[in-house]
Every structure is written in structure tokens, then in C-alpha cells.
A and B are shown apart, each in its own frame.
Chain A
Amino acid sequence: GAGVSQSPSNKVTEKGKDVELRCDPISGHTALYWYRQSLGQGLEFLIYFQGNSAPDKSGLPSDRFSAERTGGSVSTLTIQRTQQEDSAVYLCASSLGGTALSYGYTFGSGTRLTVV
């Protein structure tokens, strides 16, 4: 597609429920990132996929968080047993890999998750 697409745009869920957030990167972009932006905070790195390499999961805050990327394209971030502190905007970004990363990422518009 022309840009990075994220769905849903907004999600309200009850505490304890599971949620899935979707990211459709720019076609041909091999690198895909998930960040979390809590109210008044900067962007917190969650996970990074690069081609067929094992993902960098070093930013996932707990084992309730997981992500996968199927076929090197679409990615899904899953949060199990949601807690109120999970409320945030979840941003996805993609980029061409390798040295092209030095030109920055293209971001989606994010999913605002509200846990009530």
C-alpha cells in the first residue's frame, strides 16, 4: 500500500480481555517495528522484525505481550489479559532494511487502546 496501515484506529476493551492490533506495512519493507506511546510519554520500543531473522523482542514489557509477522508482511500485536496500564497508543512503523534504516521509518497512525 501507499503507507503503513493500522487497524483498528481505536479500541476499547474490558480489563482481562485479549486484544489484537494489526499492522500492514509498506509493500517491500522488510523491517517492521512496534512502539507504545503512553499519555505524556515518548515512544517505547516493543519489538522489531527484520526479514527472516529472529525478532528483537527486548522491549516487550511482559509475557502478556506477543507479536508475529506472517509471510514477511502483516504483523499482529497481541495483548493477553489486558490491564489498565496497557492503555496507550500503539504505533507501527516499517522501513527498507539494512542501510536504508538510516533514512528513518514510515509510521502508521496508530491504534489507541483504552482498557476499562
Chain B
Amino acid sequence: AQTVTQSQPEMSVQEAETVTLSCTYDTSESNYYLFWYKQPPSRQMILVIRQEAYKQQNATENRFSVNFQKAAKSFSLKISDSQLGDTAMYFCAFLTGFQKLVFGTGTRLLVSP
């Protein structure tokens, strides 16, 4: 079974600084997809960024980028120029075989002024 591990329950960062959230996963599959979702206090899960395992190039979306290390089964999220609106829970998730997303336990990020 696939598992996703987020080892940082909470992180803090000051506005305008950079923060990296860690995620590791376990799978025997070779083709899969990885995601980072953001959950603000409104509870709605918002897709932040997506990575295809067969692509070596790391995905980027504006201030958000990933460091995807397939051999190490690591998928970290870097947030540059952090903003107060980035305060949220962040979940790493894994998808294979076009089935269901498997989520990690989340990292609570607090951005302070």
C-alpha cells in the first residue's frame, strides 16, 4: 500500500521569507502523480501544485515550487516570498493507477508579519 509521510506537524515563517515543507512517500509503482494541497481555515482544499513522476523537471507555480527526488521518494514544497495568506494546512498527496488520492497528515504553516 502507498503511504505518504509529512514529518513536520507545524512550521513558522516570517513574511517575505522562504520555507520548505517536507514529504516522503512509499510506493513500488513507477508511474504516479504527486500533489500539494492547501487547506485554509475555510476548510476547502485548494490544489497548489502537481508533479508527474515521469517528468524530471520540477514543477513550479509562481511562488510555489517542488523538489522532486524520485529515487529518494521525496517531494518537498518550497514557498518563496511567503505571504500572510499562505497560512494554512498543507497536505502532500499521491495518486497512482487513476484511483484515489492518498494524503499525508499535513503540516500547519503559520506566516507571521
Contacts of B95 in A (CB 8 A): 101-102, 104
User: Which residues of the partner chain A approach B52 to less than 8 Å between Cβ atoms?
Assistant: 102
Min CB–CB distance A52 → chain B (angstroms)? 16
Interface positions, chain B 27-55, Cβ under 8 Å from A, are 33, 35, 37, 42-47, 50, 52
- Nearest B residue to A42 via CB reads B105
* Interface of chain B residues 53 through 111 with chain A (CB within 8 A): 91, 93, 95, 98-106
- Report Cα–Cα, A81/B39, bound state, in Å: 30
Interface residues of A in 63-109 (CB under 8 A from B): 89, 91, 93, 98-99, 101-105, 107-109
Question: A interface, by DSSP: helix, strand, loop or mixed?
Answer: mixed
A110 at the interface (CB under 8 A from B): yes
Complex interface: chain A residues within 8 A of B43 (CB): 89, 91, 109-110, 112
* Closest-CB distance, A38 to chain B (whole angstroms): 10
Number of interface residues of B (CB under 8 A): 25
**How many pairs of residues, A versus B, come closer than 8 Å at their CB atoms?**
58
A56 to chain B, nearest CB (A): 7
Cross-chain contact A104 with B35 (CB below 8 angstroms):
yes
- Are B103 and A104 closer than 8 Å at their CB atoms? no
Contact present for A48 and B99 (CB under 8 Å): yes
Nearest 10 interchain pairs by C-beta: A107-B45, A42-B105, A43-B103, A101-B98, A42-B103, A110-B43, A109-B44, A104-B47, A102-B33, A109-B43
Apart from A42-B106, A91-B43, what are 5 other A-B pairs with CB-CB below 8 Å?
Answer: A93-B45, A99-B98, A105-B45, A109-B42, A110-B44
